[in-house]
Homo-oligomer: A and B are copies of this chain.
Amino acid sequence: MSASISIKNITKRYDSVTVLDDINLHIEDGEFVVFLGPSGCGKSTLLRMIAGLESITDGAIEIGEKRIDTLPPGQRGVAMVFQSYALYPHMTTRQNMAFGLENVKVAQDEIDRRVNDAAKILEIDHLLDRKPGRLSGGQRQRVAIGRAIVKEPKAFLFDEPLSNLDAALRGRTRLELAQLHQRLGSTMIFVTHDQVEAMTLADRIVIMHNQKIEQIGTPMEIYQYPVSRFVAEFVGSPPMSMLPINHIEKTTDGVTVEVSGAGTVATAITLPPEFKAKDAVIGIRAEDTEVVSEQEDGLDLTIKVVERLGDRTLLYGTLIDGTELIAEDSGRSKVKAGDMVRVAISPHAAHIFDGTGLAHHSQLEV
């Protein structure tokens, strides 16, 4: 029942404000795609346009080769799970799930079968006669998904369905969603502005920014080869540290850059001739740093805050010239706020961004 989705030259304007500008995207049958971007970048709008809840200013949407943007929402064959779940509060779980099928006059025994199957998959069969008011957040969420499943849609659309849950539940539910996708093999689109969610769920991530699609790629592509400084800073937690570059020198392996407060760093990055050196920065992820002993080479970092995550420890500090840098240490780190530590950075993992934000990566790694 699943199908591919094509978004062709979609534009959305409210009066004079352009919210989405000429978006093109093809989603494969059975793919799990996540729209990721900062708040207000138009993710929900795009999703709701696919669902038919928002009109389209320009462009077309096709599901399984068939143009659907002229159809009413109910006839597009998509199911949506809302951020607030939008369960019908006065109906039981069973009624909530059956409602859509009753509307199109599916036979009663078929409805029962589908509802029971979905309830079993989601482990909510014991909740079928409760109303939403008496369900916990996680259970509501599952009912909302169940309501989508029973319709056997061509595609599932999720609009930040996890943002109402607390951290623990969010982690669990994320896992369940991933398993669900494996089991059903349906096309799914998931909207979020939480990059951890995006990274853990997506086959491909669509990064949206400034009314445009900034990058499309697998989670690893996006994490390791961000196309721009925006993507690099937006994806990854803690965010990538950015150190201003004073001077660049070409070597055979790549370039060696002089970073204020950190001396020279040899990288494996080759820069094209048109590279704009002004305002260029070098980006380093916390996991590409290492706390080393005083004797070894490295940068001196004055620690401001220590975040102990159990399995690892994040050190937020400043270099001698005041530039901020986040370093990582092991979970059993003894570093305290106020300490000065020596940090080595792995030059091959660094990224360079030019003045316009365009990214350049090391050619060595894979």
A residues adjacent to B (C-beta < 8 A): 39, 163, 166-168, 171, 174-175, 178-179, 182, 193-197, 199-200, 219-220, 223-224, 235-238, 285-287, 304-305, 307-312, 316, 328, 331-332, 337
Contact = CB atoms under 8 A, between A and B. Distances in A.
Contact of A39 (B166, B316, B331): B166
B307 A175 contact: yes
Contacts of A311: 236, 285-287, 328
A347 to B, nearest CB: 17
A152 to B, nearest CB: 23
Q: Tell me the interface secondary structure of chain A in the complex.
A: mixed
A286 B166 CA distance: 22
A309 B196 contact: yes
Given A167-B193, A178-B305, 19 more contacts: A166-B193, A166-B194, A167-B194, A167-B195, A167-B196, A168-B194, A171-B237, A171-B238, A175-B316, A178-B307, A179-B305, A199-B307, A199-B308, A199-B310, A220-B332, A223-B308, A223-B331, A224-B332, A311-B328
Given A193-B168, A223-B331, A287-B331, A235 B175 contact: no
Contacts of A316: 175
A63 to B, nearest CB: 26
A233 to B, nearest CB: 11
A225 to B, nearest CB: 12
Contacts of A307: 174-175, 178, 199-200
A304 B168 contact: no
B168 A310 contact: no
B310 A235 contact: yes
A130 B305 CA distance: 31
Which 5 A-B pairs have CB atoms at the shortest separation, nearest pair first?
A287-B311, A167-B194, A200-B307, A223-B310, A178-B305
Contacts of A304: 179
A219 B179 CA distance: 32
Which of A166, A197, A287, A309 lies at the interface centre, i.e. has the most chain B CB atoms within 10 A of its CB? A309
Name which of A39, A199, A305 has the most chain B CB atoms within 10 A of its CB.
A305
Nearest to A330: B287
Nearest to A200: B307
Contacts of A163: 166
11 contacts: A167-B197, A168-B237, A178-B305, A200-B308, A219-B308, A223-B308, A223-B331, A236-B310, A236-B311, A287-B331, A311-B328
B171 A309 contact: no
Contacts of A168: 193-195, 237
A167 to B, nearest CB: 4
Given A39-B166, A166-B39, A286-B311, A337 B223 contact: no
A244 to B, nearest CB: 22
A237 B172 CA distance: 10
Contacts of A235: 310
A160 B122 CA distance: 30
A24 B121 CA distance: 45
A163 B168 CA distance: 12
